[in-house]
Structure formats: structure tokens, C-alpha cells
Amino acid sequence: MKLAVLPVESACNVVLNDNRVKKIKYCVFKLASLSLYFAVAVAALSQDLSSLGKMAQDLGSMDSLAGLTQKLHLSPEQLQQVLPILQGEVPKLQAIAGNSGLSNVQKLDKTKAVQKQSDSKLKNMLSSEQFTSLQSFRSLQRQDILQGVIPQ
């Protein structure tokens, strides 16, 4: 019994039987499936890495509120208590930094007053290490305000 001649047989001078054809189809299907799987995996991984990089950049900067809360290593409970206090400072500090009518000394004094008011509430919520980190942040924040950087 003569089998139908497939294009592969004539091109490669090879005779294929049913088992070989099934094996080739299986291998081609498997290769296509793996290629599709890897393409999807690479696309997902690159998107995840991109979003993780953006999040790390956003959270890692010391001039942002999110960066501060990350660097303080706040527990979920602390975060619920501390975040509203820090968020309440932002518009006050933005107003100070954006007020061109104030001298640097006045900006510094007003900034320290806002920070001191918040720190009195935060001191009991934070560990001594966290409070020390907060004070380091405060120092950088004051320098930024003097240089005209608007807090976020």
C-alpha cells in the first residue's frame, strides 16, 4: 500500500510513515506550545520587572512620603496611625516651600514648627530607631525646602 507523498517527502527525499508523521506533528505542536509559553512568560516578566522598578523608584526616594514610610519599616498598625499625620504635613510644607515672600530663616523656622508639632504625636508611635530615621529625613527635608524643593 502506497502512502500519499507529502511535500516534506519530496523536498527532503524521505519517506514518512504514519508513526513518523504523528511524531513530527507532536514535536511541532510541542515546540509551538513552548514558544508561545516562553513568549507570554517573557512579556509578563518584563512587565513585572518594569512595574517593580517603577515602584522601587517611587518608594525609594527620600523626598516622597511613600519613601519615608518604607524606610521607617512601619508595621501595618503604625502605618495606619502615622500616615495621616505625615499626609497632614504635606500641604503645610508645600505652602512654606512655595512662599517666595519668606526668607530662608523664616522657612526653616516654620518648617521646624510643623515638624515639631507632628513629631510630638509620632514619637509615641515609633520605636527609637524609627524616630531617629524620621529625624534624619526631617533634616534632609529642611535642606530641600531651603533649596526650593516642594515636598510630596
Residue 102 contacts residue 120 (beta carbons within 8 Å): no
In percent, the amount of the chain with pLDDT more than 90 equals: 26
Residues 42, 87, single domain; the answer is: no
Euclidean distance between CA atoms 148 and 60, whole angstroms: 21
Residue 24 half-sphere exposure toward CB, CA atoms < 13 A: 10
Please provide residue 87's backbone torsions phi and psi, each rounded to the nearest 5 degrees. -65, -30
Over 90: is that where the pLDDT of 123 sits? Answer: yes
Which of 59, 81, 100 is the C-terminal boundary of a domain?
59
Domain-located, residue 1:
no
Residues 92, 43, single domain; the answer is: no
Residues 25, 83, single domain; the answer is: no
Residues 85, 110, single domain; the answer is: yes
Residues 53, 71, single domain; the answer is: no
All three cell numbers of 71, joined, read: 524606610
Over 70: is that where the pLDDT of 58 sits? Answer: no
Over 60: is that where the pLDDT of 120 sits? Answer: yes
pTM of the model: 0.55
Residues 98, 115, single domain; the answer is: yes
Listed range (88-102, 121-135, 136-150) with the worst mean pLDDT: 136-150
Euclidean distance between CA atoms 91 and 139, whole angstroms: 18
Alpha helices in 61-103, H assignment, sequence order: 65-71, 76-98
Q: What's the confidence (pLDDT) of residue 81? A: 92
- What is the residue range of 98's domain? 62-146
Domain-located, residue 2:
no
Residues 96, 139, single domain; the answer is: yes
Domain-located, residue 41:
yes
Euclidean distance between CA atoms 91 and 32, whole angstroms: 56
Residues 23, 45, single domain; the answer is: yes
Euclidean distance between CA atoms 107 and 101, whole angstroms: 10
Residue 151 contacts residue 90 (beta carbons within 8 Å): yes
In percent, the amount of the chain with pLDDT more than 70 equals: 62
Quick one: pLDDT band at residue 124, thresholds 50, 70, 90?
Answer: very high
Residues 40, 105, single domain; the answer is: no
Listed range (19-28, 35-44, 56-65, 72-81) with the worst mean pLDDT: 56-65
Residues 94, 105, single domain; the answer is: yes
Domain-located, residue 87:
yes
Give me the number of domains the chain comprises: 2
Euclidean distance between CA atoms 69 and 62, whole angstroms: 9
